Homo-oligomer: A and B are copies of this chain.
Amino acid sequence: MTIGHTIWAIAEGYIPSQSTGTDRTLISHETACILNAGDVDADITITLYFKDREPAGPYRLAVPARRTRHVRFNDLSDPESVPRDTDYSSVISASVPVVVQHTRLDSRQPALALLSTIAFAVTG
């Protein structure tokens, strides 16, 4: 089943440099959850936008057919890592339709805070 769009935008982006968690699951992070429900592998490129410099990227990754991938922006490193404590936005392009949702886990304080929203689907 082919579901989704080929361009998505996430205007909000911010990775706190601090965490109180002690393992990977509880470290402050931002995630783009990408679902490829179709039968063709998806080539993904991510571009990051900042307040005061030219965009970074493209970051390249793949989401195979009938698979989902929860991409942590914290883990992006090629061509450069994502700066912490810095406002950014992202645009995600896919070679076939996918669905993108954005989530942040903030553990700067002992109590977790979570946010999530569907990304903006660019139609046409």
Interface residue total, chain A, C-beta cutoff 8 A:
59
Nearest opposing residue in chain B for A98, CB measure: B11
Whether the pair A115, B112 counts as a contact (CB closer than 8 A) is no
* This protein's copies in its complex: 4
Whether the pair B11, A99 counts as a contact (CB closer than 8 A) is yes
- The verdict on A100 contacting B33 (CB below 8 Å), with A49-B68, A54-B66 known, is no
A47 to chain B, nearest CB (A): 8
Whether the pair B49, A35 counts as a contact (CB closer than 8 A) is yes
- The verdict on A69 contacting B51 (CB below 8 Å), with A11-B35, A12-B103, A103-B115 known, is yes
- The verdict on A109 contacting B108 (CB below 8 Å), with A33-B89, A35-B49, A66-B54 known, is no
- Give chain B residues whose Cβ lies under 8 Å from the Cβ of A91: 1, 3, 35, 37
Binding site for B on A (CB under 8 A): 1, 3-4, 7, 9-14, 16, 25-26, 31, 33-37, 47, 49-52, 54-55, 66-70, 85, 87-89, 91, 99-106, 108-122
A-B contact pairs, 22 of them (CB 8 A): A3-B120, A4-B122, A9-B99, A11-B35, A11-B68, A11-B100, A11-B118, A12-B101, A25-B85, A37-B89, A49-B66, A50-B67, A68-B87, A89-B99, A99-B120, A105-B113, A109-B110, A109-B111, A109-B112, A114-B114, A116-B117, A118-B120
